[in-house]
Chains A and B, each alone.
Chain A
Amino acid sequence: MPTSTVQKMRPWAASPKDRALTGLSVLLSVLTAILIVAVTPMKGKLAYFALFFLAWFVIDSLFVVRKQGSKGVRDGLAAKVTLFGAVIVSMAVFSILWATISKGVKGLNLAFVTENMREASLFDPIGKGGILHAILGTLMLIAIAIIFSVPMGILTALYLTEIKGRAVGLIQFLVQAMSGVPSVVAGLFIYAAIILNTPLRSSGFLGGLALTILMVPTVTRTAQEVLNLVPRDLREAGLAMGATQWKTVALVVVPAARSGLITATILGVARIAGETAPLLFTVGVFDSYNFNPFKGDQGTIPTVVWRGLMGGTPESVQRAWSAILVLLIVVLIMFVLARSFGSKSPKK
């Protein structure tokens, strides 16, 4: 066949000449920015950034205007402005990550994750005491929140996707509204409803309840999304065999969406793991282990960070950074887990 010799072409793709021109204009812009910063009183990273952008736009426009006129110039400007928007957002994220890692590792040592603070204070030199009690406390709170919010969230999602009753619109609306409840209000509510009215005092259990309020909407919405991805014919196949709706949901729909539901749970946990404000009302602070979820204050990572930040000495601030690094690692692991489960969930 002679056709096999025909070469595929992509005439619309950037040619080597185009790439060279792009490279040239970027290079020229960098040089221009450096030059202007050197000879004028404008100084600093901000100046480099702004001048580079301006120079790039001007130089690139000179290249484009010959071929495409003012239309091309505007198109080029739009492309660059969107890119710069994305770059600024990325810079903020990298700044946060870099600060956490670079400042956090300085205070990390074995004791930090294997000891508690019973013998040490926030203001002691680094190396004395650790936050194991807070790690355990946070895990306990997360477990309590999961116990309440996962059934609540998934059943609500089932109502929205399987039963589709008359209240679907209302429930959807309320779940959305609930996701906007400020975390401080969740804490105040538990305090107002339980601590002021019953003999119960601040404890891990009450903290878990406050976190449940914040976690349910996330679980519900993600679960709803994955349940909607379960193909209709799977359900109809179940029902057509004469199975009850209950059996179809329990044996067909939920298993098909299992990994997606796990993602929903993990995303919910990631949402609440770092919540601080509600814990100040409901859990209090504690420097040692407390394995009783129903009685007594509890140490948690967010409150350790909070107290470290408020403490204000170099040692306490260092503890805050190291504790937030530990928390961030936990959140990142959950994030990666959620993504790997999420990629396994059924796609239409």
Chain B
Amino acid sequence: MSIDAPVKVTPPARKITTKPRVSDQIFRAIVTAFSFSALLILSLIAIFLLIKGFTTFKEQGFGFITNFEWSVTQDEAGKEVTHFGLLAMLVGTVVISFVALAIAVPLSVLTALFLTFYAPERIKRILVTIVDLMAAFPSILYGLWGFFVLMPMAEYWAKLIHKWLGWIYIFDVPDPVYTRSPFIAGIVLSVMIIPIITSVSREVFSQTPLDRIQAAYALGATKWGMIRAVVLPFGAGGVVGGSMLGLGRAFGETVAVFSVLNIVFRTNFQILFTQGGNVASMIIQKWGEAGPSEVSALMAAGLVLFILTLMVNFLANYVVTKTVKSGR
């Protein structure tokens, strides 16, 4: 035994193990198995839409997402000639969704700020109920309301916008027809996604660390000064994430858009004009009289839509999670 150099011996950390009982093993196995149902369903959706849309992808190639034309005709020999190009619909979907975001994001952020920092308790409770209620309205109700109530009003707004801002290309129209436009479809969608963006924004705003809020106030900030210095930098990521969740919803909305949009296979950026596109609505529109080849094309369109919304959602969740974790 050496005494001159006392060596400090750290024992290796013991591994704590346990053997779960059989009942627990079964329980864990069942729960784990079920938890993978999400994976199963998502994969099945992709697989089956790919299988059924495969002929279209093979025949149309890249043209499926880069061409404008969508037609099924017969040549002189009576043979079917198909042109399936989704580009106009994809562009239309994006245009409408961005109109929706342009309206919904400011309104949602304002509402969330009002709810979190300005509203008296009683008004806050009522308003939270209202926003939750909005999320529970069926989409067909939005379609009905959009067509019969909103459209006459929005037509008037569109005329006003055209009158004052018509010199900007997107607010110009080739003919003075303002109904069933991407603008109106965008408003309907904005009302549908406001509850999503509002509740996500409210969530992050309310998580703003109290000590930072107090620090701002103690430095003589007004409420707005505090919001700008503390709340908005903290909540920005959440607002972006919430907006992208809303965007995902807007991409996939079907019947509400179909009710208020004139679907035309042509790219149109003049949002006040009665001409637009939307992948989901187009699927519904063409479904009724689709022959086998067109059904395949619609399945392919569904797959494109599915992947598009998945990507937007992944990105949105990534942004939200990252914001929450970084604590900013």
Contacts and interface: CB of A to CB of B under 8 A. Distances in A.
B177 interface: no
Contacts of A165: 28, 32, 35
Interface in B275-328: 280, 283-284, 287, 298-299, 302, 305-306, 309-310, 312-314, 317
Contacts of B44: 189, 193
Contact of A183 (B198, B252, B299): B252
A188 B49 contact: yes
Given A81-B110, A163-B32, A71 B222 contact: yes
B134 interface: yes
Most buried by A among B44, B111, B131: B111
B310 A331 contact: no
Contacts of A182: 251-254, 280, 305-306, 309
Contacts of B255: 276-277, 306
A30 interface: no
Given A82-B113, A185-B252, A320-B144, A160 B118 contact: no
B141 A246 contact: no
Contacts of B181: none
A255 B36 CA distance: 24
Interface in A173-193: 173-186, 188-189, 192-193
A261 interface: no
Interface in A33-79: 44, 46, 68, 71-72, 74-75, 77-79
A331 B252 contact: no
Contacts of B74: none
Contact of B111 (A85, A96, A270, A302): A85
B111 A163 contact: no
Contact of B137 (A84, A163, A328): A328
B287 A96 contact: no
Contact of A177 (B37, B111, B314): B314
A103 B195 CA distance: 24
Nearest to A84: B110
B138 A324 contact: yes
Nearest to A81: B110
Number of contact residues on B: which range applies? Answer: 35 or more
A22 interface: no
Interface residues of A, number: 91
Contacts of A162: 31
B45 A79 contact: no
Given A78-B227, A81-B110, A273 B138 contact: yes
Interface stretch (B18-26, B77-85, B265-273): B18-26
Contacts of B39: 170-171, 174
Given A273-B138, A331-B136, A184 B280 contact: yes
A95 B134 CA distance: 11
Contacts of B107: 85, 88-89
Interface in A205-254: 213, 216-217, 220, 244-247, 249
Given A155-B30, A174-B38, A183-B252, A328 B191 contact: no
Contact of B252 (A180, A270, A281): A180
Given A88-B107, A245-B24, A306-B140, A95 B149 contact: yes
Contacts of B223: 75, 78-79
B206 interface: no
A151 interface: yes
**6 tightest Cβ-Cβ pairs between the two chains A and B:** A274-B138, A182-B252, A85-B110, A159-B35, A180-B313, A78-B224
10 contacts: A77-B224, A84-B110, A89-B194, A89-B198, A95-B145, A167-B35, A181-B309, A192-B51, A277-B284, A324-B138
Interface of B: 20-21, 23-24, 26-28, 30-32, 34-39, 41-42, 44-45, 48-49, 51-52, 106-111, 113-115, 117-119, 127, 129-134, 136-145, 147-150, 156-157, 160, 191, 194, 198, 222-225, 227, 245, 248-249, 251-255, 259, 280, 283-284, 287, 298-299, 302, 305-306, 309-310, 312-314, 317
Given A177-B313, A245-B27, 10 more contacts: A81-B110, A85-B110, A92-B191, A95-B150, A177-B42, A185-B45, A188-B49, A188-B283, A213-B41, A274-B139
